[in-house]
Amino acid sequence: MVEVFNDRPNLTMSEPFGCDRCDRKNPDQIERQPFPNELGERIVETICADCWEEWKQHQMLLINHYGLKLNEPNAREFLYENLRAFLFGEGDVQVEIDSGQEGSVKW
């Protein structure tokens, strides 16, 4: 039986980080807050780096699929809504993109 000493006792005092989306304990965390607002704060506190990567891929699909222009407020609003649905399961705006259709999207 090997004794394992915890050299960082403070860690046991605080809640371990767990991702709300994939339910993993102690996954990699996002290094930087993605948006300078409440939403960004929430993402950093509840979503792991892997899930965030997934969203970024999904976001690219959406941007390409819909030809979104990120300097347009409507496009950003659309992405925020999809982000909430994708990461937090909120709302009913999540758009399914059939990956079987990939390559057939008209530019």
Round to the nearest angstrom and report the end-to-end CA distance of the chain. 63
CB of residue 11 vs Zn ion: minimum separation in angstroms?
Answer: 20
105 binding Zn ion? (CB under 5 A):
no
Q: Which stretch binds Zn ion (CB under 5 A): 2-10, 44-52, 67-75, 80-88?
A: 44-52
- Binding to Zn ion, residues 51-80 (CB under 5 A): 51
Residues 56, 67: Cα–Cα separation, whole Å: 16
Q: Residue 53 CB: number of other CB atoms within 10 A?
A: 12
Quick one: 55 or 79, whose CB is closer to Zn ion?
55
11 binding Zn ion? (CB under 5 A):
no
CB of residue 29 vs Zn ion: minimum separation in angstroms?
Answer: 10
Please list the helix, strand and coil fractions of the chain in percent, rounded to the nearest 5, in that order. Answer: 45, 5, 50
Nearest to residue 75, comparing CAs of 65, 86, 85? 65
CB of residue 40 vs Zn ion: minimum separation in angstroms?
Answer: 16
Quick one: 19 or 43, whose CB is closer to Zn ion?
19
